[in-house]
Structure 1
Amino acid sequence: MKRLKSLVVLGVTIATLGIVTGCSGNSNNEDSNKKEETRVVQSVKGEVEIPADPKRIVDISGSSEELVLLGHTPVATANVDSYETDKVPSYVEDKLGKSKVVGHSMMDTMDIEAILASNPDLIIMAPRQEKIYDQLKEVAPVVMLKDEANDWEAKLKDVAKLFGQEEEAQKWLDSYYTKAKKLGDEIKKANGDKTYLTVLASQGQFMVFTEGGIGTILKDDMGLPQPANMPKQDGITLPTVTMEGLTEIDADHIIVIATDSDKADLEKSTVWPEIRAVKEGNVTILDASPYFSQAYNPIGRELLLQSIKDEVVK
């Protein structure tokens, strides 16, 4: 009988040890799994440990279209229409319409309370928002991306690198450039060697997209020629010319991005009808919203390819 009791006690002891050991083993496995579910990435602020597959991304850097292309729709965004800053651009409403707007990506501060309410597991920001960096890193891991200025392609590659999706990004870029060249060739075949000028109308003057925005779609991506008298661009600042300056540039076709007010100014102008491209009927006028900022983002840029072709080939 004593021997039986001893065996029972021994069995219970072994079972108890097994449970403890099993729990300990599970804990180690869980810790190991947690480590496997994160990755260390490089940011402007140095190395940052982020979730390997974040589910609730808040993007205030202006990279929301890049994220969407890579399959990471943010729960909150600062990618807004430049003229209606409380909403995302109309051309991406189907993709970003449910994302909470928490600010304007070109601004240095955001709606911190709205970011908190979004319960992020990753925040992506730009150097211009550095003054709120310390606040945000208490909420979730924060990656500060390099400011790539007008280099939209470099920005896409930077975002892809965060998630190890460089090949996916390159595949999209290859497809984009193939499409751009094809449509550019179609325009040249239809219109010959016309030169193209793209400008933003602004209170009687014009900001020229020499090396930025929609201008680079036509010049670099589609391979369409610019006029010989293009003003030089200094950094990211677009050069500005008067109405008379447009005459001196003397483009065969002018694409104007304008608000309703600026359109009205053009209609009232006595100089505008005398510009050669206007006289010849080779002018395309696009709404400032959403076309002004569309070319700085990949989804918008791709959509513009067909829009440009449809507008300049009649």
Structure 2
Amino acid sequence: MKKLKTLVALGLTIATLGIVTGCSNGASENNTKEETRTVESVKGKVEIPADPKKIVDISGSSEELVLLGHTPVATANVDSYETNKVPSYIEDKLGNAKVVGHSMMETMDIEGILAAEPDLIIMAPRQEKIYDQLKEIAPVVMLEDKSNDWEAKFKDVATLFGQEEQAQKWLNDYYKKAQKLGEEIKSDNGEKTYLTVLASSGQFMVFTEGGIGTVLKDDMKLPQPKNMPKQDSITLPTVTMEGLTEIDADHIIVIATESDKADLEKSTVWKEIRAVKDGNATILDASPYFSQAYNPIGRELLLQSIKDEVVK
């Protein structure tokens, strides 16, 4: 009888251990199961990880991701003139990210994206042709193409992660800084007009409503000349050297490659432009200054650079 009781007790103990172990395994499985959430994209609703750890961004939104605390493992945010690497001003934040293409191009390094083992891929409509391939690698969110509206792009990325308030705080701080530095420039230089252009083989693309031009005009509230060429699309209007004379800005900021700088040095017309004769011409390197204004980190860094260059 005593032996029977011992066997029954042993059996109950084993059964109890089995139940506990079973519950423990179930809880473990539930805890390790990745949480997801559903977001809206150009392609409709997409289920993505609630907290993605390995993001590949080919949409051109890598700076926005960094500001929101999501540094990508692979990127297509590259220097416009050295497309095999990220811009120098953000190397300290994006330097470890693998470059898998140029965000303004239609195709990417698919093998490089695959090797990054992403749990989320962010892309733009211009890369539509590789959408199906990317879907086989990881969940894909296609954002609207707002490459010429840096603020709207930033807000879209923030919405994807539910971080709208964080993005808005950054924007508020940015605009306060821009206006403060703009006021300091006007205090030092007076009410001068400012023209920003990209030198291109003897001609000049004018940043009337785009790029660095909007940093000065919209953010820093610095006046433009009255004779600015109209810009009806995202394409920058182009003028000749004589066209610069007709615009007649008090201060000219030129973004130029080394060869374009050499052309300016040799030009007799350039030397006769009023702003140049008055010592109010600033020449910036094409790399990285051309693309900086289209991205938030680069745009913020431009504020102090502009003040340092135009206030002597």
Which TM-score band applies after superposition, normalised by the shorter structure? over 0.9
The residue type equivalent to 2:238 in the other structure is: T
Report how far residue 22 of structure 1 moved.
1.4
Report the aligned-residue RMSD: 1.7
Q: Distance in 2 between matches of 1:53 and 1:74?
A: 13
- Mapped to 2, the partners of 1:15 and 1:136 lie a distance apart of 48
Letter in 2 for 1:198: T
- Please list, as runs of the form range in 1=range in 2, the aligned pairs for 1:104-115 lying within 5 A after superposition: 104-115=102-113
**In 2, Cα distance between the equivalents of 1:12 and 1:286?**
79
What residue number does 2:117 align with? Answer: 119
Partner letter of residue 261 of structure 2? K
**Against the structure 1 CA distance between its residues 163 and 256, is the aligned structure 2 distance closer, same or farther, given a 3 Å change threshold?**
same
CA distance in 2, matches of 1:161, 1:288: 32
| Deviation, structure 1 residue 26 | 2.0
- Preserved CA contact (<8 Å) 1:149 1:236: no
Structure 1 residue 28: deviation in Å?
7.0
How far apart in 1 are the matches of 2:28 and 2:173? 46
Query: Separation in 1 of the partners of 2:310 and 2:31?
Result: 60
Distance in 1, Cα, partners of 2:41 & 2:218? 29
Matched, 1:140 2:138: yes
Per-residue deviation at 1:206?
0.2
Is the contact between residue 121 and residue 141 of structure 1 (CA under 8 Å) also seen in structure 2? Answer: yes
2:72 to 68, 71, 74: 74
Report the 3-state secondary structure (helix = DSSP H, G, I; strand = E; otherwise coil) of the residue aligned with 2:268: coil
What is the TM-score with the length of structure 2 in the denominator?
Answer: 0.95
Q: Which one of 160, 166, 169 corresponds to residue 167 of structure 2?
A: 169
Q: Contact conserved, 2:147 with 2:294, CA < 8 A, in 1?
A: no
1:11 maps to what in 2? 12
Unaligned runs of 5+ in 1: none
State which drifts further: 5-14 or 39-48: 5-14
Are 2:257 and 2:285, in contact at CA under 8 Å, matched by a contact in 1?
Answer: yes
**Mean alpha-carbon deviation: is it higher for 221-230 or for 3-12?**
3-12
| Counterpart for residue 189 of structure 1 | 187
1:246-305 Cα distance to aligned partner (Å, 9 max, x none): 111111100000000001111111211111111111100000000000110100000000
Give me the TM-score of the superposition, normalised by structure 1: 0.95
Report the Cα distance in structure 2 between the residues aligned to 1:97 and 1:17, rounded to whole angstroms.
51
Q: Which amino acid counterpart does residue 71 of structure 2 have in structure 1?
A: T
Q: How far apart are residue 80 of structure 1 and its match?
A: 0.5
Q: How far apart are 1:12 and its partner, in Å?
A: 5.4
Q: Give 1:205 deviation, angstroms.
A: 0.2
2: CA distance between counterparts of 1:27 and 1:311?
59
Task: State which of 244, 267, 270 in structure 2 corresponds to 1:269.
Answer: 267
Q: Does structure 2 retain, via aligned residues, the 8 Å contact 1:195–1:224?
A: yes
> What is the one-letter code of the residue matched to 1:85?
T
2:91 paired residue number: 93
Q: Tell me, in whole angstroms, the C-alpha distance in 2 between the residues paired with 1:6 and 1:73.
A: 60
| Structure 1 residue 89 displacement after superposition | 0.4
> Which residue identity lines up with residue 237 of structure 1 in the other structure?
T
- Counterpart code for 2:8: L
Asked whether the equivalents of residues 58 and 122 of structure 2 are also in contact (C-alpha less than 8 Å), the reply is yes
Counterpart-to-counterpart distance in 1, 2:123 and 2:146: 13
Per-residue CA distance 1:187-208 (angstroms, 9 max, x = gap): 1111111100000000000000
C-alpha distance in 2, partners of 1:157/1:251? 34
Please name the residue that 1:241 is paired with: 239
* Pairs within 5 Å for 1:148-167: 148-167=146-165
Q: Which residue of 1 aligns with 2:219?
A: 221
Verify the 8 A CA contact 2:194 2:225 in the aligned structure 1: yes
What runs of 5+ residues in structure 2 fail to find an aligned partner?
A: none
Give the structure 2 partner of residue 292 of structure 1. 290
Q: Which residue of 2 aligns with 1:253?
A: 251
Q: Deviations over 1:85-131 (max 9, x none)?
A: 00100000111111110100000000000110111111111100010
User: Distance in 1 between the 2:4 and 2:193 partners?
Assistant: 102
Aligned twin of 2:27: 26
